[in-house]
Structure 1
Amino acid sequence: MAGNVLVVHGGGPTAVINASLYGVIMEAKESGVIDHVYGAIGGSEAVLKEQFLDLMKYPQEKLELLLTTPATAIGSSRYALEEEDYQAMGAIFKKHDIRYVLLNGGNGTMDTCGKIYRACKDAGVCVVGIPKTIDNDIAITDHTPGYGSAARYIAETTAEVGVDVKALPIHVCIIEAMGRNAGWITAASALARKKPGDAPHLIYLPERPFKEEEFLKDVKRLYDQLGGVVVVASEGLKKENGEPIVPPIFKSGRSVYYGDVSAYLAELVIKNLGIKARSEKPGLCGRASIALQSSLDRDEAVLAGREALKAAMRGEGGTMVGFIREETPDGSYKMHTRMIPIEEVMLYERTLPGEYINERGNDVTQAFTDWCKPLIGSEIRDFIDFQELYREEKGEQA
């Protein structure tokens, strides 16, 4: 059935959200039955304002830039739609002959996707979700486009900070990772390790209560042993009573501006242990970095866009593209996609499972690193350490 496509981006962008948009456009061109692929310029509110741009009119060399453009080329929003907004959309879609609506986003956007589907399914409009979130907290799917690149960024950054701290081992460095209530990004810092003793030395996740006394003991032990310590902590760390260790600066619905967790932890170290400490907060750098974009993440984001449009054209509305990992005899990475009913993912927050967290709650397990490693693409870079080679030579001579 011929008709037009509308793509809507929602929530915080990623390093590969535009790759999914590229996938939609390429699939539409190859189908031969799609007249226009519209981008909603400014997220869900743009639908109500009819701010649509036909993306198929642009030359291929311009569209190729989507693969290496950070954030979202068509804009996003956290606009809270009301019931009357959903009811108004059917007439807007009909006016522009929009038969297929693809919403690309995280948990909140998938909730919006389900509501638009319910409001417009009787009007002949097929609505499908494309998963996107650096937080990796969408249910059912093995992982989400956007996560692999964010995971690569935190791993590469931790490795570089680790080399710096090892070169001048006089302080504790605390890196704060994004992820809200899920520790997937924080956990990925473990991929920085090449050998025992490499950073990160401690990892603190929101899935486990943060215990100050244990934290200080762990830091002191490692500082006495190594001289320099690298800690990676989630922005969503909570006390045993469930309260954030640092109150959020701002909160409205699912939109949260977290307090400065890394600065708080650094201050704890300074005041209680008398050790020099500093905090690092990559923040948006971790979700906008094209330089550290995962090639696998980008390719899967393109695939998600293509599969979403295919499903819509088959009439499979009220679904989301999911990634399913396959078991292989040699343990190599292999996955396939399948369409997941949108009701199974709407606003369900998927956190790091217990088997991926060590017993003390200050690190991840090998099971996690085995799961995560394929998603970041190529190997983390190697570095040369002449200090270490010097010590090895002196040890051999002794």
Structure 2
Amino acid sequence: MAEKYDFTIDQLGECKVPSPIELSKQHGDFRANYVKDSSYVRNFVNVFEDNYRDNNLDPSNLLQKAGPREFIYFNPAHVTAGICTCGGLCPGLNDVIRAVVRCLYYRYGVKRIKGFRFGFKGFFPEQGLNTMDLTPDLVDEIHKIGGSFLGTTRGGGNRVNDIVDAIESLSVNMLFIIGGDGTQRGALDVANEVERRGLKVAVVGIPKTVDNDLALIDRSFGFETAVQKAKEAVTAIHMEAHSQINGIGLVKLMGRESGFIATATALASHETNFCLIPEVPFDMDGPNGFLSYLEQRIKRSKHAVIVVAEGAGQEHLQSTNEKDASGNKKLADIGLYLKDKINEYFSKKGIHINLKYVDPSYQVRSAVTTANDSIYCERLGNNAVHAAMAGKTKCVVGLVHDKYVYIPITEVTRKRNTVDPEGAFWRDALDATGQPILMVNNLSSINDRMAAPKK
């Protein structure tokens, strides 16, 4: 049975203002068209034996298409818009900021656009962070650099009343919040408080997570760039490993709970021999453990490349029991752990190795986007503006089945997206690496080990 969702988009009120964007309502006139609220994209597209006759034409399956509407809610002359970026860095932040500003300014004629600096902390008076007045001239070149033009920081989303106080005092009536699942939960709390106070403010999220772990959407912006940069690191480490006697290259990549970057990098590089991700447990020792298979690889091929996601193998490590400002559990360092264990293992065996370890995470996060990611960011930003101008709120814009849609924040943050160990993506990665399907000694203990509290 397919999981049930409710994709109904909250609306501030009836749209009565004619859009200043002069598009078309008909086909065949070579003019770009408006999008209707009644245009949808199916969420469930796979056909299963037990429900292939079910059309699923109800709010649990239909996502509203993104795009400009013929009639909008806000009068552009009365709009004050706000933008903020939250959480860790991710390729594409500046591309999104630029797109939002330019669409507001040029397409709708909105001239008052405020940039809140350093995430949610930019809303708090005691921080002394004045807002920035954003114009196309100011942001036109920012897509050529990495990082966030507005600055970013973790935390602060729990101070909902302070954030809404700032929104109210600055007469902001649409707010674009760029961030991951934690940030979007904060955005939803802000939107709920706005509603409680009777304010007419559209809160629209643009989902950002380099780990690609937001549910429902095809991919988050920055992910493709991250894989490209990670592939470059693997190419370099492979050259090092291949040029040494029993060379081993170890690359640690982002991926707290979801191994998408590591898996995609393994597929893209064609030079990865082992890919370790949080979703697939592995033993270190024993005849079917990772170290045994690594030894076999070294004896056979004289070199090996390992890609590991930061959240992999945490069951082997001592838990820090700490959390960062965003509320994420601080992970023990699997990269350094593997480095030490590999050196120790081969030293005891009397086998000479030459191990090189690289953690390119911050280089990846701060990179300028690839062309395809830049296009994606531009279109996300534009469609977020179309949503807010039409009075849509408590939603994010994303790509589903290659179509731009609006998704309620409640649904996109319900759970995290993870690599399916039994799915085609991971199966293809196994083909690319040639590693064993599972590197465990006792198959029956896997579920118990993964469910047990970390050491």
TM-score, L = length of structure 1: 0.80
Q: In structure 1, what residue type is equivalent to 2:215?
A: A
Q: Report the Cα distance in structure 2 between the residues aligned to 1:336 and 1:4, rounded to whole angstroms.
A: 29
Taking structure 1 as reference, are residues 19 and 124 closer, same or farther at Cα in structure 2, changes over 3 Å only? same
Q: What SS does structure 1 have at the residue aligned with 2:84?
A: strand
Q: Report the Cα distance in structure 2 between the residues aligned to 1:112 and 1:336, rounded to whole angstroms.
A: 26
Partner of 2:131: 52
Contact 1:356-1:364 within 8 A present in 2 as well = no
User: Which of 92, 97, 107 is the equivalent residue of 2:181?
Assistant: 107
Partner of 1:373: none
C-alpha RMSD over aligned residues:
2.2
- The answer to whether structure 1 residue 181 and structure 2 residue 260 are counterparts is no
Q: What SS does structure 1 have at the residue aligned with 2:212?
A: coil
Q: What SS does structure 2 have at the residue aligned with 1:150?
A: helix
Q: Report the Cα distance in structure 2 between the residues aligned to 1:336 and 1:96, rounded to whole angstroms.
A: 35
Taking structure 1 as reference, are residues 8 and 234 closer, same or farther at Cα in structure 2, changes over 3 Å only? same
Partner of 1:190: 266
Q: Report the Cα distance in structure 1 between the residues aligned to 2:298 and 2:167, rounded to whole angstroms.
A: 61
- The answer to whether structure 1 residue 283 and structure 2 residue 361 are counterparts is yes
Contact 1:110-1:347 within 8 A present in 2 as well = no
Q: In structure 2, what residue type is equivalent to 1:54?
A: D
Q: Report the Cα distance in structure 2 between the residues aligned to 1:285 and 1:316, rounded to whole angstroms.
A: 36
- The answer to whether structure 1 residue 135 and structure 2 residue 200 are counterparts is no
Instruction: Using the aligned pairs only, state the percent identity.
Output: 21
User: Which of 78, 81, 84 is the equivalent residue of 2:154?
Assistant: 78
- Tell me which protein shows more helix as a share of its residues: 1
Q: Report the Cα distance in structure 2 between the residues aligned to 1:173 and 1:254, rounded to whole angstroms.
A: 32
Partner of 2:202: 126
Gaps of 5+ in 1: 326-334, 367-398
Q: Report the Cα distance in structure 2 between the residues aligned to 1:289 and 1:6, rounded to whole angstroms.
A: 25
Q: In structure 2, what residue type is equivalent to 1:345?
A: V
Q: What SS does structure 1 have at the residue aligned with 2:405?
A: strand
Contact 2:180-2:209 within 8 A present in 1 as well = yes
Deviations 1:133-176 (A, max 9, x none): 11111111111001111111111211222123223343212111
Q: What SS does structure 1 have at the residue aligned with 2:341?
A: helix
User: Which of 334, 337, 350 is the equivalent residue of 1:261?
Assistant: 334
User: Which of 419, 427, 430 is the equivalent residue of 1:352?
Assistant: 419
Q: Report the Cα distance in structure 2 between the residues aligned to 1:173 and 1:29, rounded to whole angstroms.
A: 49
Question: Max radius of gyration: which structure?
Answer: 2
User: Which of 310, 313, 319 is the equivalent residue of 1:235?
Assistant: 310
Q: What is the CA-CA distance between 1:282 and the residue it aligns to?
A: 1.2
Q: Report the Cα distance in structure 1 between the residues aligned to 2:383 and 2:310, rounded to whole angstroms.
A: 33
Contact 2:230-2:253 within 8 A present in 1 as well = yes
- The answer to whether structure 1 residue 206 and structure 2 residue 278 are counterparts is yes
Taking structure 1 as reference, are residues 244 and 54 closer, same or farther at Cα in structure 2, changes over 3 Å only? farther
Partner of 1:390: none
Q: In structure 1, what residue type is equivalent to 2:307?
A: V
User: Which of 370, 387, 396 is the equivalent residue of 1:294?
Assistant: 370
Q: What SS does structure 2 have at the residue aligned with 1:212?
A: coil
Taking structure 1 as reference, are residues 232 and 348 closer, same or farther at Cα in structure 2, changes over 3 Å only? same
